[in-house]
Structure 1
């Protein structure tokens, strides 16, 4: 993406101009993302959530404007609720977080209620895993951990470790009734859960990637599994009627 970072306007100013240009009659708009969390980098974009009752349906659009890459998340005053629900069901509250944390760019009296709705969902946390889901996740996490321990192929190990990190992060977060994420949000979600644990988790995988030492990864994954019964292989079944675990 080729964007002139030197000539672009400050984020808030640019976002307001974009709303005025493209959505002058919208009911409300919010600026979200890294620029409002003070985590802006040279590759940051403007995440803007727009509410416009005239829109027939929700849509997402990306473009460049005023020296910024822009991502629009556009909704009418009803369609956004399906996205809030979907995000919460996936335990990845992208839209609830954007709405709750975002800075108001424009408001015709609708955003207080919408922001409160998003904050309530975030505070409630994701739906708790039931016993059968925990057993299923234990099994798959155990399986990947065994693959990681057993492989002597460095190239395969690199990719197994990536899968293991995602599954382990998901497991520790969901069994503690916390939201999860993908990519950079895996680490951010771990930090929100426990900053010391996030540091140890990252250090363990960094040690493997830099020195091929698996010991800390194995230890931390086993620690993650332990409160839920530890490794799980023998006795697992799936699709066997009433005897399923």
Structure 2
């Protein structure tokens, strides 16, 4: 099937599958100009005729299509969940998306999404910060100590994700997952993101751990450095 242009394909899909919806938005990489050969169309639907929010996957008009269906109120729970996990997937789609259908409800929803993105996630509590320091310290010590190259790959993977989370959350920034880890770091600090990528690339190619050790010690230092001795969790709780 001939692949239609993204906005045209998305509009036709909405018209045929959600003809009575109150609003629809096309979001994702095709909107940001970052589409690849495997990109899909992300479509957010607002339809009070549905009983509950749901997610659907389709292939139509030459595109894989991901549909996120909400009522006028169900999206709020997902906004809240995204804020709590510090990964604003739905607010970002709503704020950045191209309007396909709007019966007059999108302005307030888009404003709500934009305010969430602007505010950023809640700061970590002191307890959470201590726990994250401890976990990163533990992973780093495992990486330093292992002589098993296979194990070191997966320790490094976990450590890379933890470093990205620690840097962004301690600076009140949104985090990412998968490809969004690098994108979130670049959005916050291009120079650090490049160093982060170069450091882990060097490790995967050569096994050199020194750059990772240096980064970990630098990001932990402002908050007290590596943490092991004296750390406890749940002590004294009933």
**Shorter-chain TM-score category?**
over 0.9
SS in 1 for 2:38: coil
2:147 maps to 152
The Cα of 1:150 is off from its aligned counterpart by 0.8
Q: Output aligned runs, 1:29-68, within 5 Å.
A: 29-68=24-63
The Cα of 1:34 is off from its aligned counterpart by 0.4
SS in 2 for 1:56: coil
The Cα of 1:203 is off from its aligned counterpart by 0.6
- For residues 172-203 of structure 1, what are the alpha-carbon distances to aligned partners after superposition, in whole Å with 9 as ceiling and x for unaligned? 11000000111001111101110110000011
Residue among 177, 181, 194 paired with 1:199? 194
1:15 maps to 10
SS in 1 for 2:231: coil
User: Does 2:93 correspond to 1:98?
Assistant: yes
SS in 2 for 1:30: strand
The Cα of 1:217 is off from its aligned counterpart by 1.0
| Alignment gaps of 5+ in structure 2 | none
1:213 maps to 208
User: Does 2:174 correspond to 1:179?
Assistant: yes
SS in 2 for 1:181: coil
Structure 1 stretches (4+) deviating beyond 4 angstroms?
Answer: none
Q: CA separation in 2, counterparts of 1:122 and 1:241?
A: 38
The Cα of 1:111 is off from its aligned counterpart by 0.5
Q: CA separation in 1, counterparts of 2:76 and 2:42?
A: 18
2:235 maps to 240
Task: Give the number of equivalent residue pairs.
Answer: 237
Residue among 158, 172, 180 paired with 1:163? 158
- For residues 8-44 of structure 1, what are the alpha-carbon distances to aligned partners after superposition, in whole Å with 9 as ceiling and x for unaligned? 1111110010011001111000000000011000000
1:25 maps to 20
Q: CA separation in 2, counterparts of 1:59 and 1:117?
A: 21
Q: Output aligned runs, 1:92-131, within 5 Å.
A: 92-131=87-126
Q: CA separation in 1, counterparts of 2:218 and 2:60?
A: 48
- For residues 200-239 of structure 1, what are the alpha-carbon distances to aligned partners after superposition, in whole Å with 9 as ceiling and x for unaligned? 0011000000111111111111111111111001000112
The Cα of 1:241 is off from its aligned counterpart by 1.3
Q: TM-score, normalised by structure 1?
A: 0.95
What RMSD, in angstroms, separates the aligned Cα atoms of the two structures?
0.8
User: Does 2:214 correspond to 1:227?
Assistant: no
SS in 1 for 2:86: coil
